[in-house]
Structure 1
Amino acid sequence: MFSFREILSVTMILFAIIDIIGTIPVIIQVRQRAGHIESEKASITVLILMIVFLFIGDELLSIINVDIKSFAIAGSLVIFFIAMEMILGIRIFKEEEISSTASIVPLAFPLIAGAGTMTTLLSLKSQYATANIIVGIILNTIFVYFVLKNTHRIEKLLGKTGLGVLRKAFGIILLAIAIKLFRSNTGL
């Protein structure tokens, strides 16, 4: 039932889609604005979201009459606004809104376990054994937890200038991802 090859493949695919390394500037920015990120809460939320979506994603979206494309477009818009904040140095999300729930929104969802991750899980389900996908999810969640737990160290390592450059660069990358997600799901 367990296949090392499948687990490795699923883990690498999810790692690329989640892109926790690429979201480090966003995580640091959210932490700076919120004051604190609850690493455990965010990681558990990511784990639960991905496993639940793996099993009932199609049904859940059909119950609320939302198709995968609409779900992906909504996620792309949130990512778009986060990218605009990073690039332009402006604040779109209000302080009180982001500080009370920062570990869940926008961090756990849609940044880490967003529309791209959820859509990928549904396609992985058709190609790999469920047990192997779950192991891949768990391995990625452990890595997400490690990154979230060490944002202070990462921030010190990068320094203020390095963080600023990284924030702008990844802001542009996030913007491109948001536009790609939007275009691929609207047919534009």
Structure 2
Amino acid sequence: MELNFKEIFTAFMVLFAVIDIIGNIPIIIDLRKKVGHIQSEKASLIAGVIMIIFLFVGKSLLNLIGIDVNSFAVAGAFILFFIALEMILGITLYKQEDSNAITASVFPLAFPLIAGPGSLTTLLSLRAEFATENIIVAVICNVVVIYIVLKTSAKIERILGPNGINIIRKVFGVILLAIAVKLFAHNIKALLV
């Protein structure tokens, strides 16, 4: 097993950009307001486990249920699209039936926000290019960053203030919308050919 730091760094940066935990701070703050408390350890750990399991069984799992990676990515694009609309327009499309910290830490935080279709499809494409052990190290590094951001989101909120959070929320909403459109456009082409 040979660890390649260039591969680890590249995989880390790609995943970091796709997961966009910094951009998700407004969503995390919103969730915390709705449910009171978010279990940072649980959310980070579950997201990490989902990503590592998907790295090994993702393609086979999708093939087993008759879904190709492109269809999975298009479905993910729709989820990202609706989350982005919530952020930009300040509306709530997602209704949590039993708003408690345990469920919110798992859904929608660990999945699909952190370990979502975007990061899962990214893992499948990284696997085609990089050694599996390097991708695992990159996932673990991202999980550590996610944990730190989740733990300090209250401090970040205090520093930025409500207006700062609102501005960041709208800006990242537009960025998320653009990612959703790109993910949709890129994968719908493959489905229509």
Which residue type is aligned with residue 116 of structure 2? Answer: G
| Displacement of 1:20 | 1.1
The answer on 1:61 being equivalent to 2:74 is: no
Per the alignment, residue 141 of structure 1 pairs with 143
Which residue type is aligned with residue 47 of structure 1? Answer: G
Which residue type is aligned with residue 165 of structure 2? Answer: L
Which residue type is aligned with residue 163 of structure 1? Answer: I
| Displacement of 1:96 | 2.6
| Displacement of 1:181 | 1.5
| TM-score, normalisation: structure 2 | 0.91
Aligned pair partner of 1:156 in 145, 153, 158? 158
Which residue type is aligned with residue 126 of structure 2? Answer: L
* Alpha-carbon distance in structure 2 between the residues aligned to 1:98 and 1:86: 19
Matches within 5 A, 1:83-102: 83-97=84-98, 99=100, 101-102=103-104
Per the alignment, residue 47 of structure 2 pairs with 46
The answer on 1:28 being equivalent to 2:29 is: yes
| Displacement of 1:154 | 0.8
* Alpha-carbon distance in structure 2 between the residues aligned to 1:39 and 1:2: 28
Which stretch shifts more, 8-17 or 134-143? 8-17
| Displacement of 1:97 | 4.7
Which residue type is aligned with residue 93 of structure 1? Answer: Y
Which residue type is aligned with residue 172 of structure 2? Answer: F
| Displacement of 1:98 | 5.2
Which residue type is aligned with residue 39 of structure 2? Answer: E
Per the alignment, residue 114 of structure 2 pairs with 112
Q: Which digits, 9 at most, give the CA deviation of each residue in 1:150-173, with x for residues without a partner?
A: 111111011011111111111111
| Displacement of 1:34 | 2.1
Alignment gaps of 5+ in structure 2: none
Aligned pair partner of 2:168 in 156, 166, 169? 166
| TM-score, normalisation: structure 1 | 0.93
- Aligned residue pairs, count: 188
- 1:98 and 1:105 in contact (8 A); partners too: no
Which residue type is aligned with residue 131 of structure 2? Answer: A
- 2:19 and 2:119 in contact (8 A); partners too: yes
| Displacement of 1:62 | 1.0
Alignment gaps of 5+ in structure 1: none
Q: Which digits, 9 at most, give the CA deviation of each residue in 1:42-64, with x for residues without a partner?
A: 11111111110111110011111
- 1:34 and 1:95 in contact (8 A); partners too: no
SS in 2 for 1:126: helix
